[in-house]
Amino acid sequence: MDVSPPYTTVIFTSHLADAKGYAETAAAMEALAAQQPGYLGIESARGPDGFGITVSYWADDASARAWKQVAEHQAAQEEGVRRFYSDYRVRVARVERAYTCPRPISP
């Protein structure tokens, strides 16, 4: 995800409680997110303790908000609350600068 800032990021942290069907739902949501206007990218990591962080990137706040409202995503969010996660947190943030190694994003 090599877009230069500024852009919007949604940081989703969660503890996975029930993994049954989770991988399929998560993959379907990643594929659906990629079809939304303003989508820039998504990255995820989950450790053996069940704690995970997913960071998605959006052109602006409006596209991040719109994704939250997509019906199929809302159904997955409801299943997340009801079953997948013991807890989760969402933070919406504006990326102001970025740097990378080995190669720079901006000159």
> With respect to its own copies, which residue has the nearer C-beta, 71 or 101?
101
Give the whole-angstrom CA distance, residue 98 versus residue 83.
Answer: 35
In angstroms, the first-to-last Cα distance of the chain is 16
- Least Å distance, CB 24 to its own copies, is 17
Give the whole-angstrom CA distance, residue 62 versus residue 44.
Answer: 22
- Least Å distance, CB 10 to its own copies, is 10
- Least Å distance, CB 81 to its own copies, is 6
> With respect to its own copies, which residue has the nearer C-beta, 34 or 94?
94
- Point out which residues bind its own copies (CB under 8 A): 5, 9, 11, 13, 43-48, 51-53, 55, 61, 81, 85, 87-102, 105
- Interacting residues of 37 by C-beta distance below 8 A, sequence separation 6+: 59, 63, 66
- Least Å distance, CB 53 to its own copies, is 4
Does 102 sit behind a cis peptide bond, omega within 30 degrees of 0 on the bond before it? yes
